[in-house]
Chain A
Amino acid sequence: MDRVKINVNGADFEVDAGQNVLSACRSIGVEIPFFCYHERLKVAGSCRMCLVSVGTPARDRKTGEVVKNEDGSVKIAWLPKPSIACGTNVSEGMHVVTDSDAIRQCRGSILEFLLLNHPLDCPICDKAGECKLQEYANAYGNGVSRYCESKNVKPKRREVAGKIILDSERCILCSRCVRFCEEVIGRPIFGFTKRGSKTEISVYPGGDNDSNYLLNAVDICPVGALTEKAFRFQMRAWFLRTARSISPESSAGVNTTVWTREGRIYRVTPRDNEFVNDSWMSDSGRYFHIGRGARLSGARLDSSACDLPYAIDRCVEILRLSNFAIVASAFQTVEEMFLLKALAKAAGAPVYMVSHLGEDDGFLVSADKTPNLRGAFVTGLISEYPPDNLSALAEKIDSGEIKTVLCFDEDLKSLGLGSAHFKKANVIFCSSVENSSAVGAKVCVPLEGEMEKGGIWINRQFRMQRFEAVVERPKWAASAVEFLSQLLCRIGGADFETPDVGLLRSVIAERVPQLKGCADIPDCGTLIDASAFAGVKFPEKAAFKFDPASVGANGG
């Protein structure tokens, strides 16, 4: 990429060409305040907060040569008035001043204008603590208002599509939400009505204003004009701890930030990853952690509660008794799948998986409703795309070939196994949630949920991404990796030590060629070599940043 030399506040820097002054300044660590600019949206230039003084080398009108000062330095032709940094592209030799008195005065005045009709109801505003207006008023504001008339009254507490509360009084008319709907969702939902100081943001009357991506407008709203109804008055932003996670909603592998306090999840927001999801995520993905069924809370043996270590002992005993089959789940992490593969290899156990297919919206919700089916391919658990039921396993049980089923997460009774199969074969059910498999199972082992574990998932692009535990695992639940390591050690076949996940990852990096870098994955994830799976027919359609044809073809 081309580089250009610019001068910011008297210091010379070299930055990428073709970007605007605002992002160039950010890249070299100079902060310029802004409201309406969003790097994933078009530039609107409506807030005027990012005003800076800009100058370019003066050129002689006739000759086009650079004019020099008397001391030999380049003469800078300053623009007579400040320009917006978001709407000005950098050019060779450009001079930028971001902290002169004039600029400070500009910012103070802009804020005074923005605050003229602002209700200043921070105590009841959910945005307080992460509000740009609040931050900038504190950092750049004048501290006083000269306005002594009554403030404008605009509609408040208006519900949008049943999931957003719109407060027009707080709106600073940055148009981010308008642009988002037009550019990303693809149809206008928000718009400006009325004129002058009475201008307000409105939704189109009648019609369907809903979209599965509408809540992104809340995330990008720099003030508290748009707030999420489900998160409304739930908890202050400053109490919430964040964790980097991945949405388990589908194989899109949307990067998320999960906000928690004291073990309770309050909200899920998208995490910027330019290779996967930009700054967006689906609304359904935000509430994926809610309503996944009752928690499997405690180990059970023959439907009666027992101690976890005792249940694990029984598992090992039952698995040693006879041939067993493994039913793996695509919600498991790459680490778990690796251990499971080792277990299957050691015991000669066949591995079954099930595909969970659904609607593909062509954006960030893919047809495959599991986050890590690619991981099962890469770790070698399966080699062809799995069917949507377990009739093959049912036949094996009927014929008496399989006496024990080690099942993870899957709801066996809805996948072709009946009560008769549960009588003929011992089912060991390991999961975080309760389902019909748990009812007839010989042993139930409670495992941690997706939010309680960290690990690696591989998304539809064959991009492996790391996520971390969001909340602490309850005492009564077993860590899946520890549980599997224990099984592996006691049944035999562990030719490596697995005391902790870090060490396990380095073993995986050694043994699985595609996962070479898995011990140290960058925040944006790593695309892995998928040429080995070019023949597999995956159901995902072409979508946002995803082209099914290119996967495998380009070899990662």
Chain B
Amino acid sequence: MGVEVFMTNILLNSLALAAAGVPGGAAAAPGAVSTPACDWVELLLRVLFSLVAIIVVMSFAGLSVVAERKVCAYIQGRYGPNRTAIPWVLAVPVLGKFLQRAGLMQLVADGLKFLFKEDPLPAHVNKVWYVAAPVISLAPVLVVACVIPFGVYWSNGAAMPLSVANIDVGLLFALAVGALGVYGTIMAAWSSNSKFPYIGGMRACAQVISYELTMALAVLPVVMFVARDAESPLNLFEIGRAQSASAWFCLAQPLGALLFLIALFVETNRLPFDIAESETDLVSGFHTEYGSFKFGLFYVGEYGHMVVGSALFITLFLGAWNPLPWLAWPEEWGAVAAVLSVLTFLVKIAAMLFFFIWIRWTLPRFRYDQAMNLGWRALLPLGVANLVFYMLWLGF
């Protein structure tokens, strides 16, 4: 990854932290330190945390690129990348060969290729927005990453989230900022000043608007459930805690989970909903005019979206850091339980990523009208019905 992008993301994360600190003023302080926010140590810690979050999200994004190629190859009866090797890594006895066969060093080669390729700026584009678009499509991902609680730990008998910023409006924040990613797409499409990106951008726009509603409607019953015994039901940590030692929300609200999952595919522009990219009819869709590292950013952004989207889905419906329904890591294990909770979360993300990839290489792409039909005439009514059902259930 380019250094400047890295720095940009740290800055954005800090901004998100600042924003999180202001509204409501009820942000639960991460860590044991409860001194005012201007404390240097706390600020440093938070920067460190955000770095860790970025590293986790980015490495998952990178790995999922390899996983995509490997899984796709295996589904199609091929081996996938298994040749690329860094000489001195290959020399390591067993590991080197494993990394080569697993195609993990392909990741480095791909990254280097994106980095060292010529980075042309087409003459016909709107330069400012054209350059800004890839950054804007990647940045929200990393911002959302900082409100995700990756695990839990116990301090003085109180459960504390392992997240960069545990804010009360975490869910709203994640949905709002996460949806900003599509601005990058639209901006890229518009500034490219070329027909295929333009059509792709319009599709992305229409699609996101259509499914955002469903997504929100699918989340509301979860919030209602959490609100039964939590003070701030929009807090992602609270949502996660509500699923420890009880039924996961995917079991309590299977329809809601399905709707959210489908909407998630749309949000992340994944097949069968990648009509914005749709390489069979739009060349390469919104990023047709992009190459080298700018394209690389879009590419990583897509997988980053998948990682963050998976994390959100896991937090909302798949029991967050809890290993099994009605089962939580015992508090008495202390730090071990904390580590296990994080690992559980990461394993779940990996499983979700596999699911994303698996779906992609199984299903064909929806046509634009089919996607619209499905969104407005099937999923939205279902979402409303789902909401009304749980309202009534909770009401009586």
Direct contact of A and B (CB under 8 A): no
Interface residues of B (CB under 8 A from A): none
Interface residues of A (CB under 8 A from B): none
